[in-house]
Chain A
């Protein structure tokens, strides 16, 4: 018994030893920057060569939290996140279920799903900017051919529609991720439950809602966490398609951070914003895990 324990201890030591280098590197590129950002966020730190930093305590945070621009930006970012992740969830499940029901050509469908996801975000953004173009855009061409519009529209100068169009462009890009995860989870479900329910007379919708969906909880959790965090930090697609315009209608929280840090050179404010974003995403992850994660599912 005793020697077994020491064997285990030895194993553990070896394990620690083996992961130590990567641990040091990971801490170096995550923990250190986070702590440094936190430290910087307590200073008024103008970008520049040999410019002095001034300790201002929580002033950067106070300034942000009392600034209507900050809250308007948070509101827009939440809108982007909720609409984008919500649609991904619903459409992702629908597509996964469609593939899982194996219609003719489902293999082709599954492979072609990967294409939008494989395109780099920056390329995707540039592509959609052309699609939305007021003069040459495919969207205008399509809608005019269908007789929905009589003349070309300038889609991206209307504050109300600009954000939704950015969401659409992002959705096209990331939806496959959700669909593929859901499809893999659906494929792994035991068929017995489904068949038993069928024998008991449950229709397709009921079988999906009461039998398959609850078992997809972990897959949904993964998609929700990953996509919410990503959506909340959306930057590149906004930068490419609208640059935060028109009239800041698509300015998200990371875009504001970019402006404060690099355009205005206010490193302290930028650090405070970054730290708030980290806190916020962490908070969302905690909430999701609280509501969706049930440890017993693991031991089942």
Chain B
């Protein structure tokens, strides 16, 4: 009996060890040649190309490359960073390709997550894609992904409400905008004329960036020290809070993300809103999801009078790239997919929610094709050319995630009246200085 038990126990133990070791050895094997390579893609279901469009691209790619299978995973923008980082902890990683926001590149590169594709990019790509797009994915001369999206926020306005209130042109300054908003509120046209994405999330930092630089402020001074708590920065946050207090901004803005802004604006419950380009197509054309179709105006974001029209507009750079995980067993297949997704042809075809990164798309015959490529393009293509030149990059710092959270907290503390704007921004600046020193 005893020997039987011992043998049995030993067998169980051996089996367990084998199964553990077995797991490890299979997980580290590369996909053998001749077998289908699987490329797992993680991206957002928020702004830019829609989920349907991304799925179509994947289908087209697989039809052209029968030896590669694309598996798409869509999550809200807020979850992409954390999901990718968690998935990269294993070998092989959970995702081979990830949509990478411009503000994540410094962190991801420092942590070794991304494949350097500098030598893979063709001369044509290097020459024909906008340098600003390459800047999104490039640090110290090395590129860690293909540029995919050049996006910036715009001022959207409801042309109908503007007209009813007696105005013909959209505002050029924030002061002008408030005057119009007040007139609309006084006439009872709309309860809360302005809606923002000021939830405790990156979306709030994007709106803050446009306002901060529109008031002559800056995130970091020349020595790299936080400067958003200076006079200009504090004035901006005070202004934000005052528009909520006097009922010109929708108070729910403090819990809204970009999707909520779209919903509120598309329901006709706001006259003004900041959002990315994708909002135009939905709000102005999609009768199922919008009650303001045909009444959507898109223009440059205003600035404060204090800076005297220099620059005449300030927005935020919300660009991103598609990068390949450094530990992916299928780098070549992944690269094929990424170049297909970001190619001139694909970008021209799916340009209703995001415009091409290719400079050549805006030249000669291509420009005519591009303008005709979707119902939105006749309006969005010129709007992009007007606004993108004033898009401001958020700081390229490896501690961006934690720094951004500290600043989000400061904005929320001031908006909810727990701290004065000065106190809140000072605390966030102290946190940034501490993070920079680490």
Contact = CB atoms under 8 A, between A and B. Distances in A.
Interface stretch (A84-92, A151-159, A278-286, A290-298): A151-159
Contacts of B241: none
A140 B385 CA distance: 43
| Residue with the greatest number of chain B CB neighbours at <10 A, chosen from A50, A134, A242, A258 | A134
Contacts of A46: 111
A156 B418 contact: no
Interface residues of B, number: 42
Interface stretch (B147-155, B177-185, B231-239, B405-413): B405-413
Contact of B412 (A21, A24, A246, A265): A246
B409 A48 contact: no
Contact of A24 (B12, B89, B113, B267): B12
A135 B252 contact: yes
B161 interface: no
B255 A246 contact: yes
Interface string A123-148: 00000000000110000000000000
Contacts of B416: 157-159, 246-247, 249
A247 B199 CA distance: 9
Contacts of B67: none
A135 B112 CA distance: 44
A82 B112 CA distance: 43
A159 B401 contact: no
Interface in B67-116: 78, 81-82, 85-86, 88-89, 107, 110-113
B111 A247 contact: no
B5 interface: yes
A259 B405 contact: yes
Contacts of A247: 200, 409, 412-413, 415-416, 418
Contacts of A49: 88, 111-113, 326-327
Contact of B111 (A51, A134, A245, A249): A51
Interface in A11-25: 13, 17, 20-21, 24
Nearest to A265: B85
**Secondary structure class of chain A's binding surface, majority of residues:** loop
A262 interface: yes
Given A48-B110, A259-B405, A263-B405, A246 B200 contact: yes
**Secondary structure class of chain B's binding surface, majority of residues:** helix
Contact of B5 (A13, A24, A51, A245): A13
A243 B408 CA distance: 12
Interface in B254-280: 254-255, 263-264, 267, 269
Nearest to A244: B200
B404 to A, nearest CB: 9
B255 A134 contact: yes
B254 A24 contact: no
A244 B201 CA distance: 10
Contacts of B372: none
B200 A243 contact: yes
A47 interface: yes
Given A48-B113, A247-B200, A21 B254 contact: no
Contacts of A10: 1
| Residue with the greatest number of chain B CB neighbours at <10 A, chosen from A246, A247, A249 | A247
A117 interface: no
A101 B264 CA distance: 49
B200 A17 contact: no
B57 to A, nearest CB: 28
B11 to A, nearest CB: 10
A70 interface: no
Given A135-B252, A263-B405, A47 B81 contact: no
A263 B81 contact: yes
Contacts of A245: 199-200, 255, 412
Interface of A: 10, 13, 17, 20-21, 24, 46-51, 134-135, 154, 156-159, 242-249, 258-259, 262-265
12 contacts: A10-B1, A13-B1, A13-B2, A49-B113, A50-B112, A51-B112, A135-B267, A157-B416, A246-B255, A247-B416, A262-B85, A263-B402
Given A47-B88, A157-B251, 5 more contacts: A48-B110, A135-B252, A157-B415, A157-B416, A264-B401
Closest 3 A-B residue pairs measured CB to CB? A48-B111, A245-B200, A247-B412
